[in-house]
Amino acid sequence: MLCGVGYRHPLRQWIKDSGNTIECLEITAEHFYAGQQRSILHELGRTYPISVHGLGLSLGSPGGLRSEDLCEFVGVVEACQPRWISEHVAFTRTKDIDLGHLNPVPPTVENAELIAAKARELSSACECPLLLENITSSLRLHGDLNETDFLKRICDLADCRLLLDITNLYINSRNHGFDAAAWMAEVGAQRIG
């Protein structure tokens, strides 16, 4: 397993100085939209195995991916040739408004199919394996599936693995009173990438 950090501009020099203790980097796609910092992106892509992590594609919103967002995301992918891409099981925008926050999606069969279809569209457009991340939320939404069955169904339909955010899982387990280890066992270690 490769050990890495999330690339942030204030950490650039520290990352350079850290040598081979940093084995891979995750970059946030939106930080490089509109052609920003392309030379840095090229350099990082040449130096490290990269994961391109999206915050705002809003896989949980109704309809398909927004073409302008997808175009920007693909541009970042083409610039750094990542080994993986990732997004969240969440919605971040309504039809008209970018909420700027990762919001939970009711765990229903219909939403699992919606998110999986968009996940497949994203992975296909980027020609890269996708992972989907669990979010933290103060809300516990109810649907016809529980959270672990919802995530498993999405991953199976989208043929992708779960980007397990251990801290999000831990926080949810503390705030909502469930056993994080049992949650992981329900998801299954083989689904975690």
Partner 1 sequence: MHLVGSSCHGGVWSDSHAQPIQDDLWDLFSEIISKGDVDAAFIERDSRFEDARVDLTRDLSTMHRLVNRE
- Of the two residues 111 and 172, which places its CB atom closer to partner 1 in the complex? 172
Q: How far is the CB of 83 from partner 1 (least distance, A)?
A: 8
Report the distance separating Cα 76 and Cα 173, nearest Å.
34
| Residue 84 sits in the site that holds partner 1 (CB under 8 A) | yes
**55 binds partner 1, rule: CB under 8 A:** no
| Residue of 123, 105, 101 whose CA lies nearest to 114 | 105
Beta-carbon count within 10 A of 90 CB? 24
| Residue 77 near residue 126 (C-beta atoms within 8 A) | yes
124 is an interface residue for partner 1 by CB under 8 A: no
Nearer to partner 1, 11 or 99 (CB): 11
The correct pick among 21, 36, 47, 94 for binding partner 1 (CB under 8 A) is 21
Which of 99, 109, 171, 186 binds partner 1 (CB under 8 A)? It is 171
Contact pick of 52, 74, 160, 163 for partner 1 (by CB under 8 A): 163
Q: Which stretch binds partner 1 (CB under 8 A): 5-13, 33-41, 59-67, 117-125?
A: 5-13
- C-beta separation of 52 from 80 below 8 A: yes
Place of tokens 């204030």: 10
Minimum CB separation from partner 1 for residue 177, in Å?
Answer: 11
Q: Where are the alpha helices (DSSP H) in 33-145?
A: 38-47, 67-80, 109-126
Q: Is 80 in the site for partner 1 (CB under 8 A)?
A: no
50 vs 160: CA distance, rounded Å:
17
Does 2 bind partner 1 (CB under 8 A)? Our answer is: yes
Nearer to partner 1, 114 or 123 (CB): 123
In order of 3, 47, 155, the CA distances from 21 in angstroms are 8, 13, 31
Sign of CA dihedral 58, 61, 62, 67: negative
What residues make contact with partner 1 under the rule CB under 8 A? 1-6, 8, 10-11, 14, 18, 21-26, 49, 51, 83-84, 133, 136, 138, 163-171, 174-175, 180-181, 184, 189-190, 192-193
